[in-house]
């Protein structure tokens, strides 16, 4: 016969979220084990220790072995496409607008994340289980014609060949998902089962460096910044597979690469990020970091670039963003902005952004454990009195709860 205490424990067990044990303890006989463990008791203690080590927002201050992003960084390519293990966090991100046969249209995004656990400056032990970093990846595809949104996630440890990044060439992978430099472009392969893509993308413009003096500032204080650049226009061809159907696609992609060690402040709860490609050749990137009291951080900024590769750094005072509509997620309950007006008065540029489908929310319990909205938008407006159109992507974090990466 069970007492009240036992009943409460049973209830808690029924409510447990089960997550892959393979992230921390791989079965070497099976590269992709399907073992799971519960997020509770001893595992909670283990996870708490791990999260404290490498997710603490002040981590780079308490662990000086990771390098902060400081002014004066001199970019070199293709070197800076590759991994930067001296920094704690890094991501490689792609999005794009693709067309298929018979008027089919798709949006996609693929992101590879790296999180450092133990800096290279600390001597490595002799164990092959020694883990210095973990990798995670997200794939999302918007079927614009059917207004559907599909996504997958994957995580892996940077040992035993399960995940990693090459120092001598641009290659990042998690199991069979990878992005690799091939010839003059990049090859992306991501997804499993009913959702996958294989794309060859070739840049048509040189890298666009964001920020001032080599850093993109995210907050007040030394190191509250990242090194950040984009490849804003990349010709794209390849294949998307959705639920057994394959589509040959082509279009235009955007790449971001960002690395640093200690970006967000304690009072910053999330951000809104925009990447826009206009039919007159203009490219626009904007991010605004939001504080818990509702204000936008004054370090938020943007970059406006033309087809001649001339870039203009945009301070927050030069950017006006107005939310036009809202959307509430039926899953997370988060309320997100759902359309925007962006106005750059000094450049006579006014744009309206509308999502091509409302629900482009990702919930990622088995990798980054973050809920966020990331989706394709159509763009229409005016530039110096002339009508412009285009497409873009918007990313929003911190609307369901304060943004703090769990892994």
The rounded percent of the chain whose pLDDT value lies above 90 is 72
Domain boundaries, the chain: 40-397
How confident is the model at residue 343, as a pLDDT? 98
| Tokens 């899953």, located at residue | 331
Q: Grade residue 246 by pLDDT with cuts at 50, 70 and 90.
A: very high
How confident is the model at residue 368, as a pLDDT? 87
Q: Which residues of 141-151 are buried (b: 16+ CB within 10 A; e: fewer)?
A: bbbbeeeebeb
Task: Please give the average per-residue pLDDT across 371-397, as a whole number.
Answer: 98
Q: Which is nearest to 254 in space by CA: 92, 379, 389? A: 92
Q: What is the mean pLDDT of the chain?
A: 85
β pairing state of 371-383 and 386-397? antiparallel
Q: Which is nearest to 374 in space by CA: 217, 247, 254, 211? A: 254
How confident is the model at residue 203, as a pLDDT? 97
Task: Please give the average per-residue pLDDT across 309-334, as a whole number.
Answer: 96
Q: Which residues of 160-191 are buried (b: 16+ CB within 10 A; e: fewer)?
A: eebbbbeeeebbbbbbebbbeeeeebbbbbbb
How confident is the model at residue 126, as a pLDDT? 59
Please tell me the distance from the alpha carbon of residue 325 to that of residue 266, in angstroms, as a whole number.
28
Higher pLDDT, 88 or 8: 88
pTM for the whole structure: 0.84
Task: Please give the average per-residue pLDDT across 363-370, as a whole number.
Answer: 90
Higher pLDDT, 27 or 363: 363
Task: Please give the average per-residue pLDDT across 319-334, as a whole number.
Answer: 97
Please tell me the distance from the alpha carbon of residue 220 to that of residue 299, in angstroms, as a whole number.
8
Q: How far is CA 130 from the centre of its chain?
A: 26
Task: Please give the average per-residue pLDDT across 294-302, as a whole number.
Answer: 96
- Tell me the range of 54-68, 305-319, 372-386 where mean pLDDT is highest: 372-386
> CB-based contacts of 133: which residues, under 8 Å, 6+ apart?
85, 114, 115, 116, 117, 118, 158
Q: Grade residue 3 by pLDDT with cuts at 50, 70 and 90.
A: low
Domain 40-397, classified CATH 2.40.370.10, yes or no:
yes
Quick check: 170 pLDDT over 50? Answer: yes
Q: Would you tell me how many other CB atoms lie within 10 Å of the CB of residue 293?
A: 7
């Amino acid at each position: 016969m069970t007492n009240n205490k036992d009943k409460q424990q049973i209830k808690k067990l029924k409510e447990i979220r089960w997550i892959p044990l393979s992230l921390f303890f791989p079965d070497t006989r099976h590269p992709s084990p399907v073992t799971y463990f519960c997020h509770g008791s001893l595992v909670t203690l283990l996870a708490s220790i791990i999260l404290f080590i490498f997710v603490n927002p002040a981590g780079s201050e308490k662990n000086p072995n990771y390098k902060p992003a400081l002014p004066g960084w001199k970019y070199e390519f293709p070197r800076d496409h590759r991994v930067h293990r001296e920094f704690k966090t890094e991501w490689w991100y792609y999005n794009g607008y693709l067309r298929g046969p018979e008027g089919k249209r798709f949006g996609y995004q693929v992101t590879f994340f790296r999180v450092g656990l133990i800096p290279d400056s600390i001597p490595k032990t002799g164990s092959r289980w020694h883990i210095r970093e973990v990798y995670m990846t997200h794939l999302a595809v918007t079927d614009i014609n059917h207004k559907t949104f599909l996504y997958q996630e994957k995580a892996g440890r940077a040992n035993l060949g399960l995940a990693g990044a090459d120092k001598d060439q641009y290659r990042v992978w998690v199991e069979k998902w990878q992005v690799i430099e091939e010839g003059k472009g990049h090859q992306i392969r991501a997804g499993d089962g009913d959702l996958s893509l294989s794309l060859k993308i070739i840049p048509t413009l040189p890298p666009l460096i964001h920020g001032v003096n080599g850093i993109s500032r995210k907050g007040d204080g030394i190191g509250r910044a990242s090194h950040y650049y984009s490849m804003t226009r990349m010709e794209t061809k390849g294949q998307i597979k959705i639920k057994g159907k394959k589509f040959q696609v082509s279009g235009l992609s955007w790449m971001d690469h960002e690395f640093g060690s200690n970006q967000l402040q304690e009072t910053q709860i999330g951000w809104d990020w925009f990447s826009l490609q206009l039919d007159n050749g203009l490219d626009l990137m904007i991010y605004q970091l939001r504080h818990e009291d509702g204000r936008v951080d004054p370090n938020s900024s943007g970059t406006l670039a033309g087809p001649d590769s001339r870039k203009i750094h945009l301070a927050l005072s030069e950017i006006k963003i107005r939310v036009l509509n809202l959307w509430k997620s039926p899953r997370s309950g988060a309320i997100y902005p759902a359309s925007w007006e962006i106005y750059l008065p000094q450049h006579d540029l006014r744009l309206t952004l509308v999502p091509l489908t409302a629900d482009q929310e990702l919930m990622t319990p088995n990798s980054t454990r973050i809920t966020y909205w990331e989706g394709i938008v159509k763009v229409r407006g005016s530039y110096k009195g002339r009508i412009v159109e285009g497409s873009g992507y918007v990313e929003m974090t911190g609307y369901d709860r304060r943004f703090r990466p769990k892994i």
